[in-house]
Structure 1
Amino acid sequence: MPEETRKAFSKTFSRIKQRVLWKWDHTDMTDLPGNVKLSKWLPVQDILAHPNTKLFITHGGLLSTQEAIYHGVPLVGIPLFADQDLNIKRYVSAGLAVSLEILGIQEKDISEAVNTALNTPTLQDNVKTMSRLFWDQPMSAIDTAVFWS
């Protein structure tokens, strides 16, 4: 990630009240806001399942976006390659996500996307509704496995 883009994220995070977990390969960020924790690895599934998780900023890969929706967490998608752009476009059209373009991204773009995802009740409601659909299964996983064995 270009340094100016990293700084834009850092400044945006410094201006929100929520605490931020940021997967980052280095731990020597000099302008790290007090509400941000860096880690080279994060247990994403566990974090998304936590009731205090309010938002997931993602590249838009299929697995991570499905995990977020399963847990009812709104998305800010920043697609980088392959299927990610299409995935995020689908989630935006379904009212589950906000999309950003990585090229030329600026602090105000990130800030607007984060604030929209955090403060738009219909987006939050849509994600919760989709989550309930994921959870609404006629059989438990073990019963399904037994049925098909």
Structure 2
Amino acid sequence: MDLQQWISEAGTPGFILFSLGTVVKSSTMPEKYKKVLVDVFESLEQRVLWKWDDVTMDGLPSNVRLSKWLPQQDILAHPELRLFITHGGLFSTQEASYHGVSILGIPISIDQHHNMRMVQQEGWGRVLHWRDLSYDSLRNSYSADHG
């Protein structure tokens, strides 16, 4: 199934985009973080499009699709996108702002912490730090924007 069809079939609940940008390799994240992400994504009614630098992932939920490369601008412009979970890099935050997309930022380094503080202060996103990442914290951060 191609990406456009997969997104279109998300229906009313829509979908979420999760990307840590191009510098960080998602497949190298600590297993405890990957497990939290997978468990929370599996619990959601939305589909999740995850930029992942490998072809497969063990235990991948049926509502999650992996892709090594994504047309981020096109995805952020899609009307069924409900949330962008990002590292908070400059281009990601600028593109999300342009398209009016809510962000849940999990900053990793450099300017990302500052970018996400600004997004949160402006009121169109939230910050969740990796040290605080748990099933409940991620679920609660998501629920704060989506009831």
**Is 1:101 paired with 2:129?**
yes
CA contact (8 A) 2:56 2:66 kept: no
Identity of aligned residues (%): 47
Residue 60 (structure 2) pairs with residue 35 (structure 1): no
C-alpha spacing 1:95/1:104, structure 2 compared with 1 (3 Å): closer
Is the 2:33–2:133 contact (alpha carbons within 8 Å) kept by the matching residues of 1? yes
> Aligned letter for 1:98?
R
Look up the SS of the partner of 2:100 in the other structure: coil
Counting only pairs closer than 5 Å after superposition, residues 31-110 of structure 1 correspond to structure 2 as 31-110=59-138
Q: Tell me the TM-score normalised to structure 2 length.
A: 0.77
Question: What SS does the aligned partner of 1:38 have?
Answer: strand
Q: Report the TM-score, using the length of structure 1 for normalisation.
A: 0.76
Q: Is the 8 A contact 1:76 1:117 kept in 2?
A: no
Q: Which runs of 5+ in 1 are unaligned?
A: 120-149
Q: Which runs of 5+ in 2 are unaligned?
A: 1-28
Q: Distance in 2 between matches of 1:37 and 1:65?
A: 22
What is the rounded CA distance, in whole Å, between the counterparts of 1:115 and 1:62 in structure 2? 25
Q: Is the 8 A contact 1:98 1:116 kept in 2?
A: no
20, 40, 43: which one pairs with 1:15? Answer: 43
Alignment coverage as a number of residue pairs: 119
Q: Hey, which bits of structure 1, 4+ residues long, moved more than 4 A?
A: none
Question: Given the alignment of the two structures, is residue 25 of structure 1 paired with residue 53 of structure 2, yes or no?
Answer: yes
Pick the structure with more helix per residue.
Answer: 1
- Say if 2:83 and 2:103, in contact at 8 Å, map to a contact too: yes
